[in-house]
Structure formats: structure tokens, C-alpha cells
Chains A and B, each alone.
Chain A
Amino acid sequence: MMNALELHNVSKTFKAGKNEVVALDGLSLDMQQGKILALLGPNGSGKTTTVRASCGLLTPDSGQVKVLGKDISKYKSQVLKDIGVLLEPGKGIFQNMTVMENIEYWGLLKGIQDRRQLESKGNELTEFFDLEDKRSTLANALSTGMRQKLSLCCTLVTDPKIILLDEPNVGMDVEASLDLVKRLRWLAREKGCAILVTSHQMDFMEDLCDEAAFISNGRLILRGSIEEVRWMFQQQNYKFTFRLPESDDFDPYARLSGIQSFKTDLPNNMAELIVDSNSTSMNELMKFALDELLEVVALEVVRPSLKECYQMLFAEGVVTNDNH
């Protein structure tokens, strides 16, 4: 299958006075149709530069960007209609135009020439993003979350095959954010869109994306499906829920090693113990339960969340970002 987006060995250095900042350092990345890729990394790691280079808003110093198999530096005007880009949260819209005027104007600018098509597309998108009762409302009268939804409408007006979203859920409440996940997943599954997303909200990214690419100092440091990434960290935990025994000398720390957390303040006298599987095996855990005559309610295998993977990778010093 042809890749929707390919970045081959892309490098970009910015000059800031006498200093030079390496934003991208030989980054190679690809995306397939129908997949949602999370681009993760700390501030200044090169995420936004990657998005801008992917849509031709920035010319790399070296390397190649291909959109649907075509080199963007040579065929930019041909491939632009296939790319939808959301660049800055709440931006990319005219504040003094209404919701429908914005969608229609951006559609026209991006090459939709049939006014009826523009109108029906506007109606479809406003319904899709629950903005149908705001069609005649000026953009500056919308809430931050709604403005973000309008920006997304304008991004999607041409039915792009590749969607690049930089912080798409900024300003959205939890419900709207979950709704956005549903809608973007629908676009990927049903319409076959390739979606590249950057965000620092890891729960949102974990719900939304199929794959994750971690970048630091403009270099790709880890890439895989969300499941693969979680397995890669080998930090599998056991979550053990049981009724707390009445004896005063119950002390799991004396018997088990690798305890990540031990909560005893749950309702109905329940307790929750999370143990690192590398330190304590399932058998040892079961033996402990039998010896202590525990009333076991549940025993689950818990793998780290994307947020924990991210923290292990960046916050705990496995990788540093020394650009800034």
C-alpha cells in the first residue's frame, strides 16, 4: 500500500540571531491511509516543524517530503487539496465571519468551485461537529472549544486524504474531546484518511491514535502501535484487588517486592495493590493471597498507559531534549 505521507531524512535548522536551533535532524517518518499517528515529544522537540514541513509550509534544508507519492517541493499545488491542516488552536478562521461563511470561504479558497457543494459541505460539517445551530453566529461570538470545532470544519471542507492536526482538542471540554476522538476515528476508518496528531494530552492521544511516534531533538526515537509501545517498556504490572484482612500485622511490603502502590482507602473495606511483574511473579502473588487468606476480588494485568510510557521516556531521563 502506498504511504499517504513520507518524510525521508528531513532536516531543518532555524537561525535565532547568532544561534542555530536544530528543529529536525534527519527525521524519517511514514503514514498509511486509514491510520492515526500520534506525534509525541516535549516542547521544542520538532513536532510543529514536522507538521509544517509535511504540508509544505516550511522548506526543509535537506531531505524529502512525499504526499501520496508525490514530492511536495515539486507538486505542491497538486497535492495541497489532499491535505487538511489545523495549525494553531482556535486560529485559521476569520473572526468577523459567521460559521457558514468561514466554511464556504475556505472551501472556495481551497478550490471547491460549486456553490451548492460548498453549502452542502458546510451543512454536513456543522452537523458533524454539532454546530448546526451556530451556522449564522459570528466566529468571535463562539466559545474557545466551538472555535476549535470551526477550525476543524474549515480543515476538513475539501475532504482531505491527509489530515495534520496540531493540538486539535485545545479548549474543548471532556465531552467534546471524546466526541472529537469518535469523529476522527470515523474519518480514518470510513473515509481512509491518514491523520497525524500532536498533543500533550496523553489520554486523548491514547484514545485516538493507532500508532505513536516519539521525537526528541528533531529525531525519531521510538515508533510503534500504541500496544507495541506499551509492551516495549516491559513495565507490566499486576493490579490485585482484595478485601482487607482484619489482622493488624498484615503487611504486603514485608512479603512482596516491586510494589508500585497500595491503596487501603477504597469503599467496602477493599484494598488495591499494584505490583511490578518483573519483581513479583503471578505465582508469588497467588501464594501470598493463599497464605494471607485474602478474599480476592480481581486480579488484572495492567500495562503502562501512553502517558506513563511518555514519562518513562522523557521525564525520567531516558531521553532528554536539550534544544531549549
Chain B
Amino acid sequence: MTTIKTFLLVSLEQFRIDIRFKKRYFFSTLITFITNLIVMAGVVLISMPAVAYGEEIESVLQLSNAGKLIGFIYFFLGMVSLGLAQSQVEGWRQVGVIDNIALSPLGVSGVICTRFLPNYLSTLISTFISAGILSLIFKFPIEWHIGILVLNSLIASFGMFGLGLILGGLTIRFKQVGMLSNLLFILLFALGVMPIDYDMTGTFSPLARLFPFTQGLIRTRHALIPGFEDTINVPMFLFLVCSFALFLVGLFVFRAFEKDSIKRGTLGAY
């Protein structure tokens, strides 16, 4: 019970820290935001030339654009959640605090988990603002059902966070798995912007039905794009189970590597 309370209090503290850091390092926060905005604008402009025509956009392209923009928002959220555990392990090792964190009742995995929600929300807000600005600049129509987007992306990000815990665990053991995470980021990007068929008939459909990132993407596209609301073919139950299962597998793998590194005495070795 005490550990659960500590977990909740540390999670709340992470929100405070995030806000404090954004204020303290405002310039850096602003630069990161502008960079993401430019990248997002670049993707919109390069992959969807039709947006240049603004409101005169053809309806089919409009659907495609809307779907791809949702995918791009998912990519940002998925990337941040996927990279969280690995970046924390590397960062804590560099600063020299990972051993001290391991000596807290939550352990390294527990403290990383307290960072998931603040991290997700911070990215969500910044991505929403970016998407909002772009939709205004390019007169890009998108149905803003924030509740649906948040719920689905949160569950999908949770699954991605689980996958990231596996990467984090590998980082504890093997130190250099940066290239692997870069590869996964590119795969996520491809999955985010590729036109996964709304009716789930494409080549990747069987995988997409089981992978939380694509599950969330499909569910959101179906819910937000007019005319597809009633065709959601990934049940919420399956989505939740897959996401939690990936998280649990990730947590198990991470803790196994954490325990192994304590046995070897190499946790803080950098």
C-alpha cells in the first residue's frame, strides 16, 4: 500500500517537475516545439500536396490527409512512449543517479513507470497545438473528437511504452541498443502514415489488428473520419488486452534485466 502511494505521489511530482522544467528551460522547450511543428508541416506538405489547395481539396484526398495526420500524431506519441525507458536509463546512467534510483522502493522500472503519464500528456498537448496551428495555416479540416483521440492514443501509447521497456531492459544489459530504437521509430513512422486500409484488408492487416499502435490508429481513424464511424473492427477489449499484455511483457523483461544487472553489479556502469 505504501509503495502504491509512493508511486502515485512520485507520478504527481513528475507532472510538477515537467511543468517546472518547461518554464525553467523555456527557450529549449520553444525550440523543440518549433522543430516538431516544422517536421509535421514538412510531412503534411510533402506527402499531401493537395493541402496546398486548402478548402478546394478533393474529398478522397481530404480523408486520406486526415487519416495521415492522425497517424502522424500517433507517431509522435508512440515515439515518445517507446523511447521513454531507454532514454531514462541512458540519461540516469550518464548523470550517475541510476544506482540511487535502484535503491528506492519503486526501483528503476517503477520510477520509469511514474514518468509515462506526464510524458504522454506533455507530448499530447504539444502535438495538439502543432496540429491545430497547421490546420489553421493550411485550412486543413479535421474533426476534433479529442476524447476519442486521447483515449485511443493513451491505450496505444501504453502498449508502446511496454515495448519501450523491453528496449530499456536491453539497454541496461547491452548498453548500445540505440540503433534498434531508431529502427523501431522509423517503423512506427511508416505505420503511422501508411494508408492502412479502413476496412482492414491490406497486407499488414493481421499484424495491425494485434499491435497496439496500429490498433489505436485504426480505431481513431474509423471514429474520426466521417463515414467510417460504424466500421470499427478492432474491439476495445482486444485493444486493451494487447496493450496491457505488451506492457506486462515489457515490465517483466525490464525487471529481469534490472535484477540481472544487480546480480552482475553493472547497473550503474556507463
Residue positions of A touching B, CB distance < 8 A: 12, 14, 23, 49, 52, 55-59, 77, 80-81, 83, 85, 87-88, 91-97, 101, 105-106, 108-111, 113, 154
Contacts and interface: CB of A to CB of B under 8 A. Distances in A.
Interface stretch (B73-81, B176-184, B261-269): B261-269
Contacts of A95: 95
Nearest to A48: B265
A1 B11 CA distance: 40
Contact of B97 (A14, A55, A81, A91): A91
Interface stretch (B100-108, B127-135, B244-252): B100-108
Contacts of B24: 96
A113 B6 contact: yes
Nearest to A12: B265
Nearest to A57: B99
Contacts of B100: 85, 87, 92, 106, 154
Interface in B1-42: 2-3, 5-6, 9-10, 13, 17, 20-21, 24-25
Contact of A80 (B9, B95, B97, B105): B105
B96 interface: yes
Given A14-B265, A57-B265, A111 B96 contact: no
Given A80-B104, A92-B97, A96-B21, 12 more contacts: A14-B265, A23-B265, A58-B262, A59-B265, A80-B103, A83-B103, A92-B100, A101-B17, A101-B20, A109-B111, A110-B104, A113-B2
Interface in B225-248: none
A109 B104 contact: yes
Contacts of B21: 96
Q: What secondary structure prevails in chain B residues at the interface with A? A: helix
Interface of B: 2-3, 5-6, 9-10, 13, 17, 20-21, 24-25, 95-97, 99-106, 111, 262-265, 267-268
Contacts of A94: 95, 97
A77 B111 CA distance: 14
B265 A91 contact: no
Contacts of A83: 103
B97 A56 contact: no
A11 to B, nearest CB: 13
A59 B97 contact: no
Contacts of A91: 95-97
A57 B95 contact: no
B50 to A, nearest CB: 44
B125 to A, nearest CB: 21
Given A91-B97, A94-B95, A59 B103 contact: no
B263 to A, nearest CB: 4
A59 B262 contact: yes
B73 to A, nearest CB: 28
Contacts of A55: 103
Contacts of A101: 17, 20
